[in-house]
Structure 1
């Protein structure tokens, strides 16, 4: 009996790797097989990082801005317990003196410590900006939510009123309100709230317009859900994060507006704020420029930090929404 050929003796239990190697060896001109576990194998390299995830990083600038705002908030809240001078105390020989080891920012035109007044001034500047924009969020957010959801005469009426308010010169409006109501802090907050309502309402309306045609909103309306419930339960939670990012920019703008009002005299001169400090030192800017420079730098750094953080948060929210 003839001996069986090698091909006939192969069993179906041969491994897939042996079969593939035999095919490669039998192919004409095929290169010799490479040992996948041998020393010639190059180490695996890490895949390049997806730019989509790189954009999600906050960055050094964001944390620097957050650190500045954190220090500013800490100083505003705990200024009375910090080892700094009384902002209303007058020091002999400090009038218009420059920065020194004892008085880091120098003295103003009557000998008050500028560093202490900058720390205490953050209280009013931040409080006015935050409370005024909070009021604008409530009032303007309500108008924007209603105008964006109802596409009828209600929207036309609200948007027309907002356009009229935006067409009025803001500084003239603030001066008129301040002259009519007075220069007390509560009146200043009220005036800035009225100024911020149109911009907040337009932002909220634009966001509502993008969500009112989404599937989950259309489904809720098809099921017979009341309009008020749809606005509060389905649309409002999606609008709040983006509005919160714009809030930082809005507060920054109101801080600048408060400084402008204080500069023209529409503010209580007996209360310490950055704008009041600039107003009181503008006559000495040619002889002692540091009186104006330091409170101006406080406004500049605060507004810059808020704007940068607001932009970064909006970018992060935009990336998250694009991945949904």
Structure 2
């Protein structure tokens, strides 16, 4: 089938477009948020094409995949067809609800013609989905391969816009871990955040050109640190597990499901996380063993083939106008 989707979350989209369909992403001259076009730092197949908005009205699509609330109206304007009414549609919810957990009503909660696909069971549980049909398709990633060396006695953490997002992503915890061992921060705007910390124990790395380069750099660090308090399950965490990295993570949201015993240390006790972080810096062999378990678990639960098969099932049911349910 032919699917229209916006390039919103690069890692998620990279996995999704590995499927057997044809994919179209809008592109604008400035490649802004509503028209990023094809990925330039991820490896996308030739089955993904980009088209400007003025071309979309004249194209045939089997389904439109929505990921942000305003895309419902944007798709109707650009396509001349209403998602869920004139054209089958599905809405992917990548995020945990903001505001009061468990009480926030989803933007599509009053519609029953556009199913909501949550990327974690936690999201499905905590959003008020109203009468919208929902289903969970857990994350999948393109396997970067076992790359872990742990040759650098440092922690690696991936946080985009750490300064703006602050406590939500655990940015305030990074200096505490850096007081135990050096921490290398990867992600957008990491340099500005690190500059404001006033410590040399945290180093910013935002000059890597591709996702492949970042994976190699991450795997050289001894521990993957995941300090996030409140967000959907980070794909960088799953990718680190695929790389064979041991994990030290705050036990919040879906992390408690994603990281099994032996694959890392998860806890809400920051003092314990600091101790384990320090221990892994001095026991590299333990890190190797934990990382192997992490990779095995990630391949089993978040493998690409399972992800694509689950999505094919959902897409087939949406296009045929069948009821989508767990």
TM interval, shorter chain, is under 0.3
Q: Looking at secondary structure, tell me which structure has more helix per residue.
A: 1
Larger radius of gyration: 1
Q: Looking at secondary structure, tell me which structure has more strand per residue.
A: 2
